[in-house]
């Protein structure tokens, strides 16, 4: 009986190494069909899962409470599984070079507990060659086993979109690959247990690795083009969103939009590809140009906020700005590599006091990563400018009339001007509204007296 048959007969287990935004939904999906062991080194996270709490909000507390996944932080339990899936982050260092420490550490942990006859599948986004050239040697050293004889490897890149309730593991075609035909067949059949959309069998592990890394690179480049258009049209006094609405009426116009590009995928993956290209003697031109544009957008938003505040006769040094949204994308608690922090840092360079409001963000992670405590909307008063940086569903329901209550009153503005100019004089109290994602109607905002700006 082959490994696949033993898995579906529940004679063997599947293990998930890494239970974050990617690994945990995979574990829950497989647990509906077969025996699953969910491993993570973070004991606090494991305890939350055991308590029926989903800190990622990807599948929800009810699904966690009802799942049959055996959650553990005991690495020796991995010896009970024969099919292992590694789904750990692959970030970049401050110099934008790949940080392979998480995937190397996961490989060492699994290697210490790897048994003969196992298949190891990596899901982490990497540049072509990482699985076979970096991870396999670690597995061999730690286990004392030989790849191709004692165990096999495959690669199946994750395509889960955090916070997306439509495009899920089950509904997205899964790329699968294996070191040989037998491994590929087993990996494909295992994933077909849960992926309703089916699988695509890649020609090799390196092909699968390359396919994944270009997916987000392509998206990054397209968004960079939109961001560059936004910069150009802003100088021309043309509304970018109106331009895109008009251009979007053509059947083959690609509907991308300007915005902040952060997170641990689109804002990171292109650097893996360009790093490998540099190793091969080629310096990327398009990919790195797009990355530079997107990396600078937080600063660009902050600069335009300051310009609007000056136009509204606001005293910039000491001004108070409220930022709605801190996560790297809408309706997702993940704040890792969020580009909103770039807006905050740039505003602080001008002496601006920033208040953050985000009901979705992971508060512990927000403090751990950036030393920021989010405020509640009712705690924010006397504001000089408001920035809507992330389009959470909660923010879409907010009314422009109610947002005005956050700003300084007319008398406060007059007193502020008098304190600077030594004379009390009337100054029109323009409310500066920076709408990064275009949540609100531009004409309505301007009719209500807002000094409005968006990408």
Domain identity same for 119 and 174: yes
Domain final residue, candidates 294, 327, 346:
294
175 and 34 co-located in one domain: yes
For residues 49-74, average pLDDT: 91
Please tell me whether residues 311 and 354 are part of one structural domain.
yes
- Shared domain for 105 and 244, answered yes or no, is no
Length of the chain: 455
Shared domain check, 169 and 44: yes
Do 62 and 177 fall within a single domain? Answer: yes
Last residue of a domain, one of 269, 294, 319: 294
Per the domain annotation, does 150 fall within a domain? yes
Same domain, 419 and 342: yes
Domain holding 191: CATH number? 3.40.50.720
**89 occurs within a structural domain:** yes
386/445 Cα distance (integer angstroms)? 13
pLDDT surpasses 50 at 425: no
List Cα–Cα distances, 225 to 15, 213, 245, 257, 258, in angstroms: 41, 19, 16, 9, 8
Q: What is the CATH number of the domain that holds 245?
A: 1.10.1040.10
| Residue-range definition of the domain harbouring residue 289 | 214-294
In a domain, residue 207? The reply is: no
281 & 328 share domain: no
- Domain boundary at 155, 173, 202, which? 202
| Low-confidence winner among 76-80, 138-142, 229-233, 390-394 (lowest mean pLDDT) | 390-394
Same domain for 252 and 310, yes or no, is no
Over residues 339-381, the pLDDT tens digits come to 999 999 999 999 999 999 999 998 888 998 899 999 888 888 8
Look up the pTM and report it.
0.88
CA distance 326 to 360: 9
Instruction: Give every strand in the sheet of 353-357, ordered side by side.
Output: 353-357, 320-324, 385-388, 431-435, 450-453
- Average pLDDT rounded to a whole number, residues 223-249: 95
Q: Is residue 22 part of a domain?
A: yes
Please tell me the total count of domains within the chain: 3
pLDDT at 321: 95
- Mean pLDDT score of the chain, rounded to an integer? 91
pLDDT at 416 over 80: no
Closest C-alpha to 327, from 263, 373, 379: 263
Q: Does a structural domain hold residue 401?
A: yes
| Same domain flag for 261 and 125 | no
Compare 69 and 336 and report the one with higher pLDDT. 69
The band of 1, judged by pLDDT with boundaries at 50, 70 and 90, is low
Q: Is residue 250 part of a domain?
A: yes
pLDDT for the residue 424: 46
With beta carbons less than 8 A apart as the criterion, state whether 250 and 244 touch. Answer: no
Residues 172 and 220 in one domain: no
pLDDT of residue 420: 52
Q: Which pLDDT tens digit goes with each residue over 73-127?
A: 999 999 999 999 999 999 999 899 999 999 999 999 999 999 999 999 999 999 9
Residue 111 lies in a domain: yes
Residue 162 has pLDDT above 70, yes or no: no
In a domain, 113, yes or no: yes
Of 245, 218, 265, 347, the closest CA to residue 90 belongs to 265
Catalytic residues: 265
Q: Are strands 151-155 and 174-178 parallel, antiparallel or unpaired?
A: antiparallel
Q: Are 247 and 354 contained in the same domain?
A: no
């Amino acid at each position: 009986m082959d490994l696949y048959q033993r898995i579906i007969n529940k004679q063997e287990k599947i293990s998930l190494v890494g239970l974050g935004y990617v690994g945990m939904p995979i574990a829950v999906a497989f647990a509906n069909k077969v025996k699953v062991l969910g491993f993570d080194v973070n004991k606090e996270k494991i305890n939350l899962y055991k308590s029926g709490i989903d800190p990622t909000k990807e599948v929800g507390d009810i699904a966690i409470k009802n799942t049959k996944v055996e959650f553990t932080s005991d690495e020796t339990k991995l010896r009970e599984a024969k099919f292992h899936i590694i789904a750990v982050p692959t970030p970049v260092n401050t110099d934008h070079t790949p940080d392979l420490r998480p995937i190397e550490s996961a490989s060492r942990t699994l290697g210490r507990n790897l048994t003969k006859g196992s298949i190891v599948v990596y899901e982490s986004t990497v540049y072509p060659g990482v699985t076979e050239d970096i991870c396999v040697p670690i597995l061999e050293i730690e286990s004392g086993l030989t790849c191709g004889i004692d165990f096999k490897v495959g690669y199946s890149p994750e395509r889960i979109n955090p916070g997306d309730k439509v495009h899920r593991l089950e509904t997205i075609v899964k790329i699968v690959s294996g070191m040989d035909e037998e491994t590929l067949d087993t990996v494909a059949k295992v994933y077909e247990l849960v992926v309703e959309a089916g699988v695509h069998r890649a020609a090799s592990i390196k092909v699968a690795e390359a396919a994944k890394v270009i997916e987000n690179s392509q998206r990054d480049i397209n968004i960079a083009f939109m961001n560059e258009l936004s910069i150009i049209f802003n100088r021309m006094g043309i509304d970018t969103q109106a331009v895109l609405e008009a251009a979007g009426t053509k059947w083959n116009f690609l509907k991308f939009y300007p915005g902040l590009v952060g997170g641990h995928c689109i804002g990171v993956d292109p650097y893996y590809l360009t790093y490998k290209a540099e190793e091969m003697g080629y310096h990327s031109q398009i990919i790195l140009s797009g990355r530079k544009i997107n990396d600078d957008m937080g600063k660009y938003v902050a600069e335009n906020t300051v310009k609007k505040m000056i136009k509204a006769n606001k005293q910039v040094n000491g001004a108070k700005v409220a930022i709605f949204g801190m996560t790297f994308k809408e309706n997702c608690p993940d704040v890792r590599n969020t580009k909103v922090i770039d807006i905050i840092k740039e505003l602080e360079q001008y002496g601006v006091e920033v208040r953050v409001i985000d009901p979705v963000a992971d508060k512990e992670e927000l403090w751990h990563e950036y030393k920021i405590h989010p405020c509640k909307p009712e705690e924010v008063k006397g504001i000089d400018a408001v920035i809507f940086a992330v389009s959470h569903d909660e923010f879409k329901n907010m009314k422009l009339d109610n947002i005005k209550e956050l700003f300084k009153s007319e008398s406060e503005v007059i007193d502020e001007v008098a304190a600077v100019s030594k004379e009390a004089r009337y100054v029109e109290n323009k409310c500066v509204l920076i709408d990064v994602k275009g949540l609100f109607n531009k004409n309505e905002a301007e009719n209500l007296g807002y000094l409005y700006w968006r990408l």
